[in-house]
Structure 1
Amino acid sequence: MSVDSVNANGFAREGLDVLNRITESARDEVRRAAELMAHCVSAGGVIHAFGTGHSQALVLELAGRAGGLVPTNRLSIADLVLYGGDDPSVLADPLLEREPGVADRLYDLAAPRPEDLFVIISNSGVNNVIVEMALRAKGHGHRVVAITSLSHTRAVAASHPSGKKLADIADVVLDNAAPRGDALLELPGGGSVCALSTLTGVMLVQMAVAETAALLLTAGVRPPVYVSANVPGGFEGNLELEKRYEGRIRRTAS
């Protein structure tokens, strides 16, 4: 890639090209993910979304946003403090997501039910807490949908003692098509700039939500969907929908 391509137009062109490709290449896997999501919602389950670092952006995209499904719960390492009683200082550890046992505690704090589904997001798919959460969820009989970069995960070694990566554990894998290291535009002399995984991950999440809504409507079920709290009646209507899942979904301000 030439230096002339490292600009706004270059990123837009390359990024849109990848988006166009994944809307076709991911179609079957999106359908499979949506089938699991629709089954979960129909069964009265909750979709638990988990990721660390910048993958939390996609957790927010799935859980608790306007136009999204109501029975969704955001899991976060911060839950150790918010719900687990840990001192806030624990969050200052940059390697916390690699510590064994963290995902087990997060799972227990969420107290999922058997009908619940997990969507786990990680570009590399190898960090300990990500693999640990996937293994814990599968071990308790939950279905798992992964959003990850297959290019990245195939290029790096597993770090979990099991030797497994997120893509090895999930029932459905949605490939975000991001390159190893995530950044899209190559710089002269080495290195690259402009991350891609959030852009493509949002596309995959919303495709899956749209397909889930379609499956529910086909089955005669009205999708429980959030309305923006900034339109008349939206806030009150959302509260009524959330009552169906009281104690099972978290809506913190953070």
Structure 2
Amino acid sequence: MSLPYFDYCQQLEQKLRIEEPLMEQAGRWIATQIRLGGCLHIFASRTLQGVAYEFWQQCPKILPSQLIEHPAAGIYETLEGTGHAIIEQINTHPEDIFLLLSNEGRNPAIIELAEWIKAQGHLLIVITGFDLSRSIKSRHSSGLRLYEYADLVLDNYATLGDAVLTLPKFELAICGTASLATQVLLQQIVYFAVLHLFESH
């Protein structure tokens, strides 16, 4: 029996490897801000909340981090104005750096958060489905999407509906990879961040 999902993931891995310079840069930026006394703040859209939580739980103590909670489990993220409920829970210092995760990057809540982050002068790293996000319309009145606020964008190659395989003879798309790709990118960023921190000592 063939393993089409494994085959797809193998191809995806090759695409992600191309982003090595961006992962290294993200790690370097995080390490720099941590050395200055900053904290890594992490927030994810509803579909990537589990990834964000796992990443935050596994973050080594050498990388001070804070998970930003999504009010009401993110069910209102498509409504303009809901980003303010997210922002109200954040306590920051000038040296802090932010990491936002969203496959589509078009919902008002995360866009309003990104706008606030940049208004405060913080560095912003975004993981998103870059081609997907560019191909769809923003749900925010500004017309902007998340990646347009980012200082650095990494691509998780998310597809619309996050279904990458079809069953022969059936009109059914199944099997997502966005969470897997996002976690791989995050873990490699952590590796680079810790490496840069130790090299600076």
Q: TM-score, normalised by structure 1?
A: 0.73
- Give the Cα–Cα distance (whole angstroms) in 1 for the partners of residues 99 and 92 of structure 2: 13
CA RMSD of aligned residues (A): 2.0
Preserved CA contact (<8 Å) 1:34 1:212: yes
Residue deviations 1:25-78, cap 9 Å, x none? 111111221122111211111111001222112212331326465411111223
- Give the Cα–Cα distance (whole angstroms) in 2 for the partners of residues 202 and 41 of structure 1: 21
- Give the Cα–Cα distance (whole angstroms) in 2 for the partners of residues 68 and 208 of structure 1: 15
Map of 1:87-236 to 2, 5 A cutoff?
91=72, 94=75, 96-187=76-167, 188-220=169-201
- What secondary structure sits across from 1:144 in the alignment? strand
- Give the Cα–Cα distance (whole angstroms) in 2 for the partners of residues 67 and 154 of structure 1: 34
Selected match of 2:26 from 22, 28, 33: 33
Task: Name the residue aligned to 2:53.
Answer: 60
Residue deviations 1:62-102, cap 9 Å, x none? 31326465411111223xxxxxxxxxxxx3883x1122332
Residue deviations 1:176-211, cap 9 Å, x none? 022232211024453410111011111100110001
- What secondary structure sits across from 2:4 in the alignment? helix
Identity of aligned residues (%): 26
Residue deviations 1:3-29, cap 9 Å, x none? x87xxx111111122013212x11111
Aligned residues: 200
- Give the Cα–Cα distance (whole angstroms) in 2 for the partners of residues 105 and 111 of structure 1: 13
Q: Aligned in 2, Cα 1:63/1:139: closer, same or farther, shift over 3 Å?
A: same
Q: Aligned in 2, Cα 1:48/1:93: closer, same or farther, shift over 3 Å?
A: closer
Selected match of 2:9 from 8, 15, 27: 15
- Give the Cα–Cα distance (whole angstroms) in 2 for the partners of residues 128 and 66 of structure 1: 28
> Unaligned 5+ residue runs, structure 2?
none
Q: Aligned in 2, Cα 1:98/1:17: closer, same or farther, shift over 3 Å?
A: same
Q: Aligned in 2, Cα 1:93/1:206: closer, same or farther, shift over 3 Å?
A: closer
Deviation at 1:141, TM superposition (A): 0.5
| Higher gyration radius (CA) | 1
- Give the Cα–Cα distance (whole angstroms) in 2 for the partners of residues 92 and 48 of structure 1: 18
- Give the Cα–Cα distance (whole angstroms) in 2 for the partners of residues 181 and 189 of structure 1: 17
Counterpart residue type for residue 164 of structure 2: L
Preserved CA contact (<8 Å) 1:50 1:59: yes
- Give the Cα–Cα distance (whole angstroms) in 2 for the partners of residues 165 and 172 of structure 1: 14
Q: TM-score, normalised by structure 2?
A: 0.91
- 1:50 paired with 2:30, answer no
152-161 or 135-144, which moves further after superposition? 152-161
- What secondary structure sits across from 1:50 in the alignment? strand
- Give the Cα–Cα distance (whole angstroms) in 2 for the partners of residues 47 and 196 of structure 1: 25
Counterpart residue type for residue 115 of structure 2: L
- Give the Cα–Cα distance (whole angstroms) in 2 for the partners of residues 210 and 104 of structure 1: 32
Counterpart residue type for residue 178 of structure 2: S
Preserved CA contact (<8 Å) 1:37 1:47: yes
Q: Aligned in 2, Cα 1:112/1:191: closer, same or farther, shift over 3 Å?
A: farther
